[in-house]
Amino acid sequence: MAKTPLVLLHGYYHGAWCWTDVVIALAAAGRAAVPVDMAGHGLRARRPAAATARPFNESSFATEVSPLGAIDLDTAAELLIQQILAIGRGAPTTVVAHSMGGAVLSRAAERAPELIAHLVYLTAYMPASGTPCIAYVSLPEAKDSVFMPLVCGDPVAIGAMRVDPHSHDPQRREGLREAFYGDVDRHKADAAIALLGCDAPTPTALQGTALTAARWGAIDRTYVVCTRDRTIPPALQRLFIRQADQAFPENPTTVQTLESSHSPFLSMPERVAELLAPL
């Protein structure tokens, strides 16, 4: 394990816990990896009071202002930069981001490119320069996504993209399973749903990052396309790749493919580790 450890960043609602099986598989392959929590997620998550109030009031849950609404891309990127700095001890590391973690990684890489040797976007948002992630939701490439109907309330008004992982409504639970865990063992998917946070700060989806050729554009990057993803459809993943390559043609994206849903770290961790170990 002579190489600098990989840094693993999850997406919305998840935490460092989701990488457990990948970390084990990487260790078995002789590659160290450290998963980290994104700002407002994992051990840094905060829930609205209505989420745990009994009896549960659906209207209150959909309208209560989020305790995470002040977290923006700068806040999330600064935390990631500090985590990378600690894990790499100042040496450049390979950083892997999943889903909305990609937007945080892009901001961090533009701000501190000297700390990142390789960018890996695992079915992640890799938005074009200055483009907020929310701008992609209405594009034709995103039409097959089943995620947005799961969002409760007005994300701008409450400050969070809110979901209800503890809902007793079987349709809502099945919706989360379809969006995130389509090819994951049902028992494992149920365990993962139970660990999800309910709030993801809206500002991180509303803000874009100005990317430059000398910083983000100069770092080697790999995109792992997940062909069965129902949250970020493959057509949208490939749009991210095209936009990046058009903007920075001197440093094209290396593309890998997994026949998986949105969460290959749970459905095929050994295969994910196999892709990441050499980086």
Answer whether residue 149 is part of any domain. Answer: yes
Q: What percent of the chain has pLDDT over 90?
A: 97
Task: Assign residue 19 a region (left: φ > 0; alpha: ψ between -120 and 50; beta: otherwise).
Answer: alpha
Answer whether residue 154 is part of any domain. Answer: yes
pLDDT in tens, 242-253: 999 999 999 999
- For residue 105, the domain's CATH number is 3.40.50.1820
Sequence-distant (6+) residues with CB within 8 A of 17 are 35, 42, 195
Q: What is the mean pLDDT of residues 21-29?
A: 97
Answer whether residue 270 is part of any domain. Answer: yes
Q: Six-digit token pair at 122?
A: 């695992």
pLDDT category of residue 2 using cuts at 50, 70 and 90? low
- Choose among 10, 18, 13: nearest CA to 189: 18
Q: From edge to edge, which strands make up the β-sheet containing 6-9? A: 33-36, 6-9, 93-98, 116-122, 220-226, 254-258
Cα 116 to Cα 4, 21, 95, 110: the distances in Å are 11, 24, 7, 10
Sequence-distant (6+) residues with CB within 8 A of 154 are none
pLDDT of residue 1 exceeding 60: no
pLDDT in tens, 90-145: 999 999 999 999 999 999 999 999 999 999 999 999 999 999 999 999 999 999 99
Q: How many domains does the chain have?
A: 1
Q: What percent of the chain has pLDDT over 70?
A: 99
Integer Cα distance of 167 and 34 in angstroms: 31
Q: What is the mean pLDDT of residues 264-278?
A: 98
Where in the sequence is the domain holding 236, given as residue range(s)? 6-276
Tell me which DSSP letter residue 268 carries: -
Answer whether residue 1 is part of any domain. Answer: no
pTM reported for the whole predicted model = 0.97
User: What was the pLDDT predicted at 4?
Assistant: 86
pLDDT of residue 8 exceeding 70: yes
User: What was the pLDDT predicted at 183?
Assistant: 98
Answer whether residue 119 is part of any domain. Answer: yes
pLDDT in tens, 176-222: 999 999 999 999 999 999 999 999 999 999 999 999 999 999 999 99
Q: Is 114 in a helix, a strand, or coil?
A: helix
pLDDT of residue 168 exceeding 90: no
- Choose among 40, 46, 45, 47: nearest CA to 61: 47
Q: Six-digit token pair at 266?
A: 């749970």
Answer whether residue 84 is part of any domain. Answer: yes
